[in-house]
Structure 1
Amino acid sequence: MTSHPTNRRAFLSTASVALTTAVAGCLSDDDNGGERDDADEPIVDVAEATASEGVTDPEAWAGVEEIRLEGHVGGWVGASPDHVDRIENPTLVLVEGQEYAITWENRDGVKHNLALYDAEGEIVDEYATGVLEDVGATATLAFVARPEMTTYICEHQPVIQYGDIDVLED
């Protein structure tokens, strides 16, 4: 049988375009043909986040009770307090025994959740949110800081969407 390079190239080219189109459709923000309903609100790309871990000085964290994060496939991006704003996977500095709330927003329409892990890779006291996959959906995790908390993580992207937790003694 004779091979026809032209036909193979044509097939591969067509298959490549079809695959690209299918993938782009799957990653669309919504069902409006790729148009976002919140087009005036910029979605911060993880690549635009600062690469450093942010401020870990305990004095900067004094009085912080609520932390806001944005969930992206490439990582968590800090939104507040101000010293974690635009920081990728910021280190959270907490005080043992203090109550906190982490509110996070899905910013890319991919499945995310947030869970608090210990050094053995186990969830601490079932501290985890449900899974959200709609752009703009939010979840809040209320918890009491415990010394065994070492990491916050998205269980769907655990290799790239995680950050450290430093729990200080009261």
Structure 2
Amino acid sequence: MSEQQTGSTTRRAFLTTMAAGSLVAASGRTDAQTETFRLGGEVQAWQGQKPSSIAGKSNPTLELKPGQKYRVVWENLDGLPHNFVLLDDSGNALESSDIMSQKGATQTVTFTATSEMAKYHCEVHPTTMVGTIQLSGGGQEADANRGISTDSYIFAAAIVLAAISPLLFAFLLMVFGTGDRVRPSG
């Protein structure tokens, strides 16, 4: 057995596998990492179906992380015309599906969440079929668009404390002394 071979796996095979895995990780998320929301569309409201966090809720809040890939699969529950539209704060459409009227038909909207996303609605029934989007931390875009993280503030405070503490100690020594003063003999 050569020095490079361990069991049935060679170092070269191991390194090739690791390099390929690194390229997949660097290129973005795989389809297996796409999170899916399932909704039912009817005039009264969007009906949450899956995951369990939105199941049974009308116009559920969709919790998204900027930079994460998502899939919304929605089913027409009442046979009236509906579509699914993602909107920004100003009401501009960012992503949308086609309007469909066939009861039981489904459509899928796949997108990567961005910090602009604020709500979703059906453009035919925008006052009743409307829900909010809640953005949470995570992803490079979130860091770039949401300012300084809490961890950064804590780190900065620790650096400032580390820089100031010797100065405070020196000040205390000057004010109170060291207690090693020689008493004049008399």
TM-score using structure 1 length: 0.61
Deviation at 1:93, TM superposition (A): 0.5
Structure 2 counterpart of 1:116:
86
Structure 1, unmatched stretches of 5+, are: 1-62
Structure 2 portions without partners, runs of 5+: 1-32, 139-186
Please say if residues 35 and 70 of structure 2, whose CA atoms lie closer than 8 Å, have aligned partners that are also in contact: yes
User: Structure 1: which amino acid aligns with 2:112?
Assistant: V
Q: Which amino acid aligns with 1:114?
A: F
Alpha-carbon distance in structure 1 between the residues aligned to 2:87 and 2:53: 23
Aligned to 1:152, which of 105, 110, 120? 120
Number of aligned residues? 106
Q: Contact between 2:34 and 2:68, CA under 8 Å: does it hold in 1? A: no
d(CA) in 2 for partners of 1:123 and 1:105? Answer: 20
Q: 1:128 aligns with which of 81, 96, 100?
A: 96
Please show how residues 8-157 of structure 1 align to structure 2 within 5 Å: 65-124=35-94, 127-157=95-125
Summarize deviations over 1:94-151 as a string: whole Å, max 9, x none: 0010000000000000000000000101012xx1000110100000000000011000
Question: What SS class does the counterpart of residue 117 from structure 2 fall into?
Answer: coil
Percent identical: 38
Deviations 1:54-92 (A, max 9, x none): xxxxxxxxx770000000000100000012111000000
For the residue of structure 2 that corresponds to 1:150, the secondary structure is strand
Larger helix percent: 2
DSSP 3-state at the match of 2:120: strand
Q: Which has the higher contact order (CA 8 A, sep 6+)?
A: 1
Where has structure 1 moved over 6 Å in runs of 4 or more? none
CA RMSD of aligned residues (A): 1.1
Counterpart residue type for residue 154 of structure 1: C
